[in-house]
Structure 1
Amino acid sequence: MLTPDYYYVIVGGGMAGLQLASRINNDIFFRGKKIAIIEPDDKSINDKTWCFWEKGAGAWDHLTTKTWQKGKFISSEINKDLDLAPYTYKMLRSLDFYEHVKSDLEASGDIVFIKDEITAIDPVTRTAKGKEQDYTATHFFDSRPPKDYKKSENATLIYQHFKGWYIKTEEDIFDPESFTMMDYRINYKDSASFTYVLPLSANEALVEFTFFTPFLTNEKTYDKYLNRYIREILKVTSFEIIEEEIGMIPMTDYPFHEKSTGKITKIGTAGGWVKASSGYSFKNTERKIDLLIQNIKSGRRPSKELFNKKFQKYDSIFLEVLSNRNDLGESLFTKFYTRNSIQDIFRFLDEETSFSEDIKIMLSLYHPEFLKAFFKKL
């Protein structure tokens, strides 16, 4: 067999692909291995904002735009302050991440960037077919989601979809030391929908209207509810929209991880690295890559045991409830945030809690719909 063009090919230069490449680049174990990142987009704009929580210093602190140790959860009935310590909630703009990681990788000498779109990967010939040319490798890390995940009869799919405005107001109205995790005072009828507010200063913030729903909507709907929130809740009549972002994140129990093989490891959304019950992905991706790197160094398949089956089942049940009774969104999240400490919530979402702690949290959410969902998913 001919020597492959590359040791590894990373298909996709988004968050997962670049995080993986960065870890490989900074580990002497991989020194001298030629790696290609193949991505059709230049990644030259700020196309999304990532937020995550962690204790103490983190690997990306030098790139964060803003951090908070205080937050709020607000429903139609309650306004709860959240003291996050010892956690910090961190905000990272995608363009800052792309530019920094790409600069580091380009200087390494072992990693090359190729602008192309991969259409298929043949594990037998170890060839990735691109629109411009073909590429061979000993192993592929593939961030392309399978085409059928939205149509699977055996999986539950909720869309986290949103539009955000970076706004600047004439008067100082925000508390830059506290962000709003969820505010349900303005919501779309009979749906799990809320506003998320990240204040950058006293007069600048990212205000985002977000849905966790089985359906999608149009851009005018986001604009309508963003305008309502800013005018009715924030009481702002004059503001400037500095920047906009819009996106969709699949929250699903589709078994993405089963698509990985001995020669192809699915990563990012395509690998099931988005936390199904919350939509958070940045820190989750970091944890998956830690395990993946350990597997490679130990001679195991990269995708081996990346997932905790217990928490996958919890996520699956929660998604089923939201899918069947989306109108319960505000009630369920109000129970979640008022009957548990924010520290326990973060540990649960990070899959660090014990079974007895899990039971306590699940009982705090109890609704008959959970029994129906449990038996269906069982």
Structure 2
Amino acid sequence: MGILPVIDAATEELTEIFKDLHEHPEIGFTEARTAKVVAEKLRAYGVDEVHEGIAKTGVVALIKGKSDSGRRVGLRADMDALPIHEETNLPYSSKNPGVMHACGHDGHTTMLLGAAKHLAKTRDFDGTAVLIFQPAEEGLGGARGMLAEGLFDKFPCDEVYGMHNFPNGAPGKLGICKGKAMAGASFFDIKVQGKGSHAAMPQQSRDPVVIASALVAQIQTIVSRNVAPLDSCVISVTQIHAGSAYNVVPDTAILAGTIRYFKDEVYEMAAERMTALCDGFAKAYGVEIGIDLRNIFDVLVNDADLSDAYLEAAADIVGTENVSDGIEPATGSEDFADMLKAVPGAYIVVGHSGTVPLHNPGFFLDPEVLPVGASVMARVLERRLPLAAG
């Protein structure tokens, strides 16, 4: 089948949309310009309904097929960027200092707009397409925000599908990991409240820097000595903040980081051990240590049957030789997991040229993949809402 004709004809338009979004990235829950572009394009494509302002900047559109079986299939894209200074030197590099589409959400948004254009023009399906443009995926709770505002109550879906780019140097190859595909995640902040002093007289202090450093080392033993070898868990301390002068032992030290996991019981154990370590260090050193643990992402679970359906749709576009159900689980996280807890569905990755990793200031999403992703998203909806023969 190849690229769907309406999308193929719109390739230049989609590329321009993508470049415009890339030039104007916005952090989660501030995607006002992006949402406006999305809503304007959807209305221009002739969708039946456009709903704005869901979870601040989210957009949902409805497209009715040629007939109405009563079934509804959702397609979702994320819109937010990251607080990263772009270093790609692209002619359409970010114009917003310190903000960059370093994860490809500009591409995801463009792909879903391409699918919308095709679906609104052809309407070769039986039911309703629900197009979800989600804000704030990057750890800010955009999916949970939309769900809290009644996303699937107001716009019910029988199934929902998402997509993410993958800079693996393999353009046009798509894959799915069935079952548990991406890790759940929690963020943590730990405050060590010690006692400051002159650095030349540390005996007068209860040095939070020394305590925090020892605590970091002990946190690393949680995975190595508490998690079963065949289970997966990652605990990374990613921030240490303390002190402001060469000759002062500070009062406080702050640690922050993340836990990634595939089993809730593993996370609960890790959280209990971290809390116990903080309590123990507080008693041992005679200080106060507080810990704040916040679940940010659920484990992303792909429905096995709907994964197969997604791969079959992808094969229609790129050929069976370019799709795979052998993708390994990833310790990265994705808040589409929250939508998949509410509605069954699947999440596919689409490869493209370039190998600079996601969340890197040099990340590059090859625009050549845009019509591929758009066609696959449109095709899975058509397959899941087939028109009656004749």
Instruction: Tell me the TM-score normalised to structure 1 length.
Output: 0.34
Structure ID, larger Rg: 2
Instruction: Tell me the TM-score normalised to structure 2 length.
Output: 0.33
